[in-house]
Amino acid sequence: MIAPVLLMAAQVGMASTVNPYSLATNSHSDGWSPYGSQWAREDHLRLSLEGDAASEPAGVAVDTRDWRGLRMDAYYFLVYQFGVIGILYVMPEDLSGWSEENKTQGLRFNKYKDNIRHLVWDTDKWYINYILHPYWGGTYYVRARERGFGPQEGFWFAALLSTFYEYGAEAMFEKPSMQDMIFTPVGGAFFGEYMWEVRQRVRQRNEGVVKMNFPDRFLMLATDPLGALNRSVGRWIGHDAYLDVQPYLLRGGQAVAQEGGRQRLMPSDTVIGLNMRMEW
């Protein structure tokens, strides 16, 4: 199967500035920030009146992991994958690996239900299974590290997003791949840790620099494409955006509530989908 397609243009305005108050990020903010915990922004800092970082009581461990931001990253990924599936759907079979029969049957719930029950050893090209999928697993890993999580948590986040993709939209057209379930998170942990170290070195040599040069901006984009895309979407819809994604399953003949207290009987087919709510 084809790895997710990168749905973004290269970021040309990525820059870092020095802020005397950029001392500590506030990972417990009520509003979600699309920025990782490594890049502080003024409106996401805990500062005292004197301009010093707000301190915690002695002996109290501070959890710097950005759980809310990581959940938003996962929600965004769920939305993106349907865009990727739409692109693969219109691509020729030699690129997508999906026959016309698979595309037609994939829109039926019974086909999806049959697919998710069978984990298979796929026959995709070697570079797809053993290079592209580990690379994407590495980008999932980096996303968790940028949110303040450790290596082990980065591995599990990569495994989670890989499962979302294999058993999510892609399973409408083909059975989940055993290689992808293994090599995406496992290879991703190795790729991701290397990419994380690259990002740290880029930050160190750009400390105090107003604007990164193009090679460094490209490295930051290539090692965290999901973060770059999420930031672009976050700027577009606003940093205080709220996104909620809930799966739903409606069996044939099931009555559903409508506005005004009325009910409507669903068709005989079983329907599965996602209910997305966004506020900005």
Global pTM reads 0.63
| DSSP β-ladder status, 242-250 and 263-265 | unpaired
In Å, what is the CA distance from 228 to each residue of 49, 70, 151?
A: 33, 14, 21
| DSSP β-ladder status, 255-257 and 242-250 | unpaired
Q: What's the pLDDT at 112? A: 81
User: Domain residues of the chain, as ranges?
Assistant: 42-237, 242-279
Segments in the chain below pLDDT 70: 1-61, 93-108, 238-280
- Beta carbons of 154 and 67 less than 8 angstroms apart: no
